[in-house]
Amino acid sequence: MSRGLQIALALLRIATGISLLGPGLNKLGWFAHPALEPILANWAQHAPNGMVVRYLHLVAPHHAGLARVVAVGELGLGTLLVLGFFTPVAAGVALVMVAQFHLASGAMFQPTYLMGQNGLVYLLIFPVLTAGRAGVALGLDGILGRSMRTGLRPL
């Protein structure tokens, strides 16, 4: 892989991490006052199909715990992606987390899902980061990988 492509993937990884960190920071208050229940109720009222309604009824009783998981997930995964640390794992978990959000909100069933910045294109960034080894350039994955190849030197 060319150095230019590695840098481009690193910049995509960092931007994606920041896009998770921002909403995660906005959800810090969810640790004290989980605010997910009214969001889930609103989504259920406007659900595009029965599958989404069933999914929301399954997760709604766990809204307080899920609110905290969402906040920790966005903050933790965003941080890992910005740092380029455990990039394939972080990108894989972020893919599942974002897909769950897109399903629960009903966004993936809207015609606009194929257009814009928040739809399918955003979701597909995560497999690209995983397959493209996006943590190699400008990331801790690359630094650790290079140090492991050179071997540990005795003190």
Low-confidence ranges of the chain (pLDDT < 70): 116-117, 151-155
Q: Are 63 and 37 in contact (CB under 8 A)?
A: yes
pLDDT exceeding 70 applies to what percent of the chain? 95
pLDDT of residue 62: 97
Residue 47 counted as domain residue: yes
Can you read off the two tokens belonging to residue 53? 């309604």
- Distance, CA of 142 to CA of 139 (rounded, Å): 6
pLDDT of residue 34: 93
Residue 85 counted as domain residue: yes
Q: Are 9 and 134 in contact (CB under 8 A)?
A: yes
Residue 110 counted as domain residue: yes
Residue 155 counted as domain residue: no
pLDDT of residue 107: 92
pLDDT of residue 152: 55
Domain count, the chain: 1
Can you read off the two tokens belonging to residue 74? 């966005």
- Closest by CA to 141, choosing from 89, 64, 69, is 89
Q: Please give the residue range of the domain that contains residue 35.
A: 3-150
What DSSP assignment string belongs to 30-83? GGTS--HHHHHHHHHHT-SSHHHHHHHHHHGGGHHHHHHHHHHHHHHHHHHHHH
pLDDT of residue 119: 84
Residue 122 counted as domain residue: yes
The pLDDT tens digits of the residues spanning 61-86 come to 999 999 999 999 999 999 999 999 99
Long-range contacts of 109-118 (CB under 8 A, 24+ apart): 109/48, 109/49, 109/52, 110/48
Residue 135 counted as domain residue: yes
